[in-house]
Structure 1
Amino acid sequence: MKRIILLISIICSVVTAKAQFGVGGGGSSIVGKISGTVVDSVTKKTLEYGTITLFRTTGKSPVTGILSDDKGNFHLDNVHPGKYRLEISFVGYPTKVIKDVETTPSKPDNNIGTIAIAQSTKALNEVTVTGTAALVENRIDKLVYNAEKDVTAAGGSATDILQKVPLVNVDINGNVSLRGDANVRVLINGRPSGATSASLADVLKGIPADQIKSVEVITSPSAKYDAEGSAGIINIITKQKNISGISGGISGGMGTRQNNGNFNLNYNKNRFNLTMNIGGNASWPQTSNTYQLTQIDTGSFHSIEERRGTSRLSRHAIMGSVSAGYEFNAYNSLNSSVRLTQVGFNTNTNTVTTGTNSFNTNQVSHAIPASGFDWNVDYVHKFKKEGEELDFSTQWSHSIGNTEYTNIYSAVNTNQKNKIDGTNNEYTLQADYIMPFNTTYKLESGAKYIVRRISTSNDVYSPLGNDFVFNDLASSTYGYNQNVGAAYSVLTINLPKNYSILAGIRDEYTTIDGNPNSVSPKNVPFTQDYNTLVPSLTFQKKLTATQTLKLGYSKRITRPSLQYLNPYVDSTNISAQRVGNPKLSPEVSQTIELGYNTFIGASVINLSAYYKHTSGLIEGIATPIAITVNGVPQGGTLTTFQNIGNNNSFGGSFFGSITPFKILTLQGSINAYTYKPDPSGAFNLQRSQNGTYVQYGGFMRGTLTLPKDFIVESFAFGSSSRRTIQGTNPAFSIFGMGFKKQFDKKKYSLGVNVIQPFSTYKDFNSNISSKGFTQVSKFQYPFRSFGLTFSYNFGKMNFKAPNPMEKKKGINNDDLKQDDSGGMGGGAAGAGGGGR
């Protein structure tokens, strides 16, 4: 802790010495306005709808222009600091030229006052500003997937987008992994969201794809980033349009699996911007088939249980956001945003159990695993020195969740009803300072403090006749407090001959308090605290203008989230129960990676090889248990999260994009890595997997751009089954096609999507075994879907000078390890009995 205080003190002393507000700020993007009033030089009457055009002092092309209003006033918005000349023309008057009109970063607004003119007109030609970005950009420090260029994702969700991002894998339940590692940190616009604390998979399914601009993949984060997430960072960037004036868009889709809609509205004038967005999706009810065979032989207890069933699920999600920002001048700006989220679903499951004890089960559940908001306020101050910057950020994330389910059994009387409520509040304070000493050295330092407060209640109702009554003895509450203090420094050194070094160190101190409470005490309060020093080091050599070689070392920490620490048993499925472990330690991983990037014309190639050592590896360990249903013994399993030992992994990845013909682009990626755990102590007895296993995932895409704005696209991706020390989790693959036609200069579009057209269901099989039991599970999910998509964009997105005969027509020129069970968390926390 003393190291954190020392680093914070150093940062504060630097900030105190440098924070002279109102000076400096080279390279700022600040804009202002030039205004005035046009009058007749003789009569002094105002001239309505005169043409006002702005040029650079020696420029020949107009920068912007506008018409004076019915009172002769004009306001030229979005003017960058500089020296200009102003030309005013009006029918029957000669052009009036005003030279040396200047705006500066500290005084971005210039009111010229009254301008007297005395015949002639001049019209300007239309200049359309257009641009495009590749679907995948391979930058030095990250891989960027430009989702807004994805034809087949229209009308889908963030899950659909992530399934196509190179190096990223998404399983059937929506759980995300990066290069095969599920311990990935997912950010939204560079920030963690409190909504993901309940169930990241459910929140991602609720974000409409039409809200996403791009996805950034960072496999070797520097010390500047939070140390959470051993695999790296995935940053989802939502659309923020900076077009002057008003613009927006409506998009959506209708299909056999789900329906989507999204609306966004953007306003930007002078130094003020406002963006609003609302979107959602609702799935049609989907029926899945399940099968599970469990054999238990503990010596004292023997059972064989076979379960067959169906599960009907419907899902809905709504997400909205409002963000606003204002630049006071070139050096000071303030931004704030609020993001609202609600995800909910209903399930109805019927299961027939045969074997040692036969019975039927009906479970009806309703869940809102995430409902809440994230509120951010950010202040940025830029100094006189080019690139020097000080940022202050705050965030309040609030989410609530609730789950209600009822289990009704036939032939036995262990019916159960649960109501689980959870509340999560997360408060973050952060300061970042950037100081470029010269072109060779740049220092980045910062400090951060996170306060997490989570509380849950699990109300259990026991059967009484045909009804349920509250069971005080079985009910419980749970409180979880976590504080994380961090400080970092990163030094960038640019050396001769195109060498560069990025060296950083981060220190994080974590404290945890858990407070279980029930009438019949079964668990005691617990505390944890640990300090983690996180160094990072990257060497980079720019071989040519298009080739880069990089060698990096990074260390990451994965803290167990509440689902892993909750000591209350989740008995949603009485024969497959789960429980957290308050004594879990965080996973710590260290990675060495060698990467090569090259751009050959329009083609991109990225190659990397890496070694990762993970200590304190967390896995769920299932053990056989004997349970009693209405006095009749039967077999079941209890899964407990444990630090099982270490894992050493070697891996390699490839990503390539080529354009063999102007109209055709082909892209593909593959990532393969080894799994060879080294279980310690008693966990050696749990191991049924022995040896080194190779796991992999890949992706292929082809895009054909045809004349008259027709676009055809197809894709396929898949991943092998994922190993644990007790068995395998399901493999996953999918194929899809999309077609889109754009109209009216791409303002409108209509499309058709087909996913998994050749089979109704996808099969997902898993096998686990250990001392005393074996279990085989099969799951069939209806994946085939057909859908229609549409979009409409409105607003001025180009530069068009005014026609002096047109009236009033202006001109616009432009950190936590997530539960991989894939189900509902018990609200924000999933207290005992909590969700599946």
Structure 2
Amino acid sequence: MKTFFLIYFVFLVAGNAFSQSIDGQISGRVIDKNKLPLPGATVELSGAKDTLYKKASDQNGFFIFTGLSTGIYSVKASLMSYKTAYSDTIRIDSAIQKIELKELILMGDEISLAQVNIRGKKPLIETKIDRVVMNIENSILAAGNSALDILQRAPGVSVENGGNISLVGKQNVIVMINDKPTYLSQSQLAALLRSTEGSTIKEIEIISNPSAKYDAAGTGGIINIKLKKNSDSGLNGSLTGGFGYGGYYKTNGGTVLNYKRNKINVFGNYFYNNNKRFQDYFIDRVNESSLQRLFFSESSRAIAKNISNNYRAGIDYSISDNHLVGATYSGYTFNQNEAVLTNTQISNSSGLVDSSVVSANNSKNFLSNNSVNLNYTGSLDTLGQKINVDLDYSRFTGDQFTAYQNSFYQGNSGSLKYQQFSRNFSPYSIDIKSAKADFAKPFSKNSKLDLGAKLSSVRTENDLTFERLENEIWNKDFRLSNKFIYTEKILAAYINYNLKLGRTSLQAGLRTEDTRTNANSVSQGLITNKHYFNFFPSIFINHELSKLYQLNISYSRRIERPNYQDLNPFVYYLDQYTYGKGNPNLNPQYTDAFELSFLSKAKVGLSAKIGYSDTRDAITEVILADTAQKSLYQMYENLARNKNYYLNINISTEVGNFWTSNNSIGIFKSSFSAPNIMDESFNSSNTAFNLKSINNFTITKTTSAELYGNYQTSTIYGIVKIAPRYTIDIGLKQSFGKEGQADLKLSISDVFNTYTRKISSILMTNPYFVEYKNETQIARLTFSYRFGNKNNKNRSDRNGGADTEKGRAGNSKN
């Protein structure tokens, strides 16, 4: 009922805003000195109080401002490589409501095209007051790499083994693609990001403290990956192909196409990736019970061949200059064949090897996704009143098959005692539906109201069958088999008010979300229903100290719901003595986050953020000992408290005309507490820092280079300690053609092959050490060619409303 009244209030306000009557009109046309129309010119309307509204001229150079009130106005038109043109002063009153201006003639500027290109190039790292933007469109190191590889280079971002992403020391980060949550588990998200080619990405937004406009999910912040979408007139596109080698060969290739004519814009892309890779890991641990103390030493190598296909197609249709509808279809397939060979030696307390186990496991994993987005954008007047509507449907399907063969030997290399054979089948599906509407109503240049609502529905089903080979017959093990069905419905509404007073800007927002979930473990007869209703306030205050310096303070409250698969109580085995399981008793975690930031736009760009967050019922990955099974297992639990303090500094500078350097320094302190882990109270605290440096070098007009370095000190997260690690990447680019439309890029990641992940337990009663070494030292050569018309850009990327839900779906652990 609370939600109903809030949404009623939201749309009541919207209805009042719509009802205001404004009927003044100013129209005109922008042309060049040869009387030819200039589409895509920026036309700005100013009032007596310097109120400014902007729009672009259409393909015939025409523009129109409607819904104007009585007053005095002026118009100016501008376009890159042309001199700005101004109109005479215009007055609108009750007697003269519609005015058609004389043609605005833009004269050619003396600036050369080469100068324009240099000025128009975006820096690799842009620091804004509310986010950091990584413009990787032209990055050398992005060539041939996946989205997951690129994320590791983003300021403040860490990607651990298996794809676990953290931001300024905080985990539970929501990853969005084109402003839409992905609703995937950690392993599924990693598979999606590995199948997303870096050459398809335009930019990555890093938002450590989001406003009420965003879904409240993501207590660690939001990472928004924006894909490229060309909107130039005519036929445009690019072709990309490359290969690489680390421990094994890799290939990738694809194309981006766009055709725009009159009111229709059709676009699409396709990318293929074939990546064979390895992972080595080692585990040393102690299993201690009342009867005996055993030492386990495990070494393993996994070799996986991943083949992915990623595709996207869409159409936009301009009903008029102010109204646009569009449809987008996107999807991908991911196929993985993996073979894992593990040797486990078991020693007694005297250090003698008592027995050993050799495990040979083979798995096949298939994942596919098909998504559809329908959207509408309407500009209701020239003052900025706008409405956006998105309808989304997405379906994930997958299937995993794993065969286990365990051979038990006497002593280190003694005779074979016996063998065990088992297998599991795990098909699953995830259906996501969402509808959202956003409305913006400017009251003046200095005040604006944003409000909206969203409804999302998710259903996931996983059917795990575990079988053992007994007397040459496969028999189902009902203890380890389980069917799990999970449904979730969220009804949300938000309101944001923006006000500017002199040099100070204020944004205050409130979001409410009503969540209803049902988790049904069919085989175990366990049903868990939950219903919770929450308010999520946010406030942002920004003050311009001068034209070059800004100060911002913000607060927001957020929620992190458990991933669907982490609620599934089934057990999945990596080998005989290592497994993971879900936790149906997981509760959502809540975070209150505060941030103070400083931004300098001086020649040496500087930004600094100081933040604090307090999380209750922190959802944390724990690795514990199962002494009865002599095993080590992984699961997620709610720890009582997690507090984070962080300082992040970004410095960008230019050295001469040939060297641009972007450097990020992060210092963060994280503390955890829990009343009971393995029958003891738990408290941990750790201060760590991270250093990242990205350097771009202009060698000649057509040759450039890139150097990246990353160093991370030792960190503690929950009950796990992660050792220091570092890496260095290099890249070289050579451009060809009169306009540089062809590029050849050579990159080498982890040049010195130093990036290794080592973790250990900080619990005295749960001692273990784990070392992971992935295939990180990889050389890649990529060629790309761009073709088509490069003028008349008109529309930016379209983003739908279902991406948050896509990020929490469940799958097997890779």
Does the pair score TM above 0.5?
A: yes
Indicate conservation of the 8 Å contact 2:596/2:609, yes or no: yes
The AA in structure 1 aligned to 2:609 is: S
Name the structure 1 match of 2:622.
621
Report the equivalent of 1:111: none
Question: Could you tell me whether the CA contact under 8 Å between 1:721 and 1:728 is conserved in 2?
Answer: yes
Residue identity opposite 2:615 in structure 1: T
Q: Measure, in 1, the Cα distance between the counterparts of 2:333 and 2:436.
A: 27
Corresponding residue of 1:163:
152
* RMSD between superposed Cα atoms in Å: 3.1
* Residues 1:151 and 2:140 are matched in the alignment: yes
For 2:159 and 2:383, the matched residues in 1 are separated by 41
Counterpart of 1:641 in structure 2 is 636
**Counterpart for residue 63 of structure 1:** 37
Aligned to 2:721: 728
- Partner amino acid, structure 1, of 2:449: L
Partner in structure 1 of residue 412 of structure 2: none
Deviations 1:426-457 (A, max 9, x none): 10011111111112321111111110000010
* Matched residue type, 2:539: L
Q: Note the C-alpha offset of 1:725.
A: 3.8
Q: Secondary structure at the match of 1:9?
A: helix
Residue equivalent to 2:674: 679
Equivalent residue for 1:288, pick from 279, 293, 312: 279
Q: Give CA-to-partner distance per residue, 1:632-677, whole Å, 9 cap, x none.
A: xx61133342211112222100011100211110111011111221
Task: Provide TM-score, normalisation by structure 1.
Answer: 0.81
Contact kept, 8 Å, 1:311 with 1:350, in 2: the verdict is yes
Question: C-alpha separation between the residues in 2 aligned to 1:226 and 1:475?
Answer: 35
Conserved 8 A contact 1:301-1:626: no
In structure 2, the partner of 1:717 is 710
Q: Give matches, 1:543-554, under 5 Å.
A: 543-554=545-556
Choose which of 445, 449, 467 in structure 2 pairs with 1:461.
Answer: 467
Q: AA paired with 1:168?
A: V
Tell me the residue number matched to 1:505.
Answer: 510
Aligned residue among 381, 385, 407 for 2:404: 407
AA at the equivalent of 1:685? E
Equivalent residue letter for 2:195: G
1:272 aligns with 2:264: yes
| Contact 2:565-2:582 within 8 A present in 1 as well | yes
Distance change in 2, residues 1:476/1:154 (3 Å): same
CA offset at residue 246 of structure 1? Answer: 0.6
Corresponding position of 1:587 = 589
> What SS does the aligned partner of 1:147 have?
coil
> Which residue pairs with 1:87 in the alignment?
none
The question of 1:604 aligning with 2:605 is answered: yes
1:757 aligns with 2:751: yes
Tell me how far 1:767 sits from its aligned partner: 0.8
Please give the per-residue CA displacement for 1:335-383, whole angstroms capped at 9, x wherever unaligned.
1111111122221111112215422110001112x31122111112221
The superposition leaves residues 66-124 of structure 1 with CA deviations (integer Å, 9 ceiling, x where unpaired) of xxxxxxxxxx98224349xxxxxxxxxxxxxxxxxxxxxxx9xxxxxxxxxxxxxxx99
* Higher Cα radius of gyration: 1
Number of matched residues? 725
Contact 2:609 2:649 in 1 (8 A): yes
1:351 counterpart residue number: 342
Distance in 2 between the 1:652 and 1:125 partners?
Answer: 45
CA contact (8 A) 2:176 2:804 kept: no
* Ranges in structure 2 where 5+ consecutive residues have no aligned partner: 40-56, 65-97, 99-107, 347-353, 409-417, 797-802
Give deviations 1:263-287, integer Å, cap 9, x for gaps: 1001112221111111121113x33
More relative contact order, 1 or 2 (CA 8 Å, 6+ apart) = 1
Q: Choose which of 782, 787, 801 in structure 2 pairs with 1:794.
A: 787
Instruction: Work out the percentage of aligned pairs sharing the same amino acid.
Output: 23
CA contact (8 A) 2:486 2:517 kept: yes
Shift of 1:691: 5.0
Measure, in 2, the Cα distance between the counterparts of 1:11 and 1:25: 28
Letter in 2 for 1:435: K
Q: Which residue of 2 aligns with 1:708?
A: 701
- Please state whether the residue corresponding to 1:200 is helix, strand or coil: helix
1:474: Cα distance to partner?
Answer: 4.3
2:301 equivalent to 1:310: yes
Partner of 1:81: 62
The answer (yes or no) to whether the contact 1:127–1:798 under 8 Å persists in 2 is: no
Secondary structure at the aligned position of 2:680 is classed as helix
Paired residues of 1:210 and 1:262 also in contact (CA < 8 A): no
Inter-partner Cα distance in structure 1 for 2:445 and 2:419: 75
**Correspondence for 2:414:** none
Which of residues 382, 388, 392 is equivalent to 2:389?
392
Rate the CA distance shift 1:27–1:545 in 2: closer, same or farther, 3 A: farther
Tell me what 2:197 maps to. Answer: 208
1:195–1:399 CA contact under 8 A, matched in 2? no
Output one character per residue of 1:590-620: Cα deviation in whole Å (capped at 9) or x when no partner: 111110000113x321111111111111223
Preserved CA contact (<8 Å) 1:503 1:536: yes
**Of residues 352, 363, 378 in structure 2, which corresponds to 1:381?**
378
Q: Mean Cα displacement is larger for which, 409-418 or 677-686? A: 677-686
User: TM-score, normalising length from structure 2?
Assistant: 0.83
Residues 561 and 442 from structure 1, CA distance in 2 versus in 1: closer, same or farther, beyond 3 angstroms?
same
Conserved 8 A contact 2:169-2:646: no
Once the two structures are TM-superposed, the CA of residue 501 in structure 1 deviates from its matched residue by: 0.6
Distance 2:382 2:358 in 1: 73
**CA shift for structure 1 position 472:** 5.4
2:231–2:794 Cα contact (<8 Å) kept: no
The correspondence of residues 1-40 of structure 1 with structure 2, limited to 5 A, is 2-17=1-16
Matched position secondary structure for 2:526: coil
Of 655-664 and 762-771, more deviation after overlay is shown by 762-771
CA contact (8 A) 1:24 1:383 kept: no
1:151 CA displacement:
1.2
**Higher mean C-alpha deviation, range 293-302 or range 386-395:** 293-302
Q: Does 1:493 align with 2:499?
A: yes
Matched position secondary structure for 2:10: helix
Question: Hey, what does 2:427 align to over in structure 1?
Answer: 421
Once the two structures are TM-superposed, the CA of residue 469 in structure 1 deviates from its matched residue by: 4.3
Q: CA deviation at 1:253?
A: 1.9
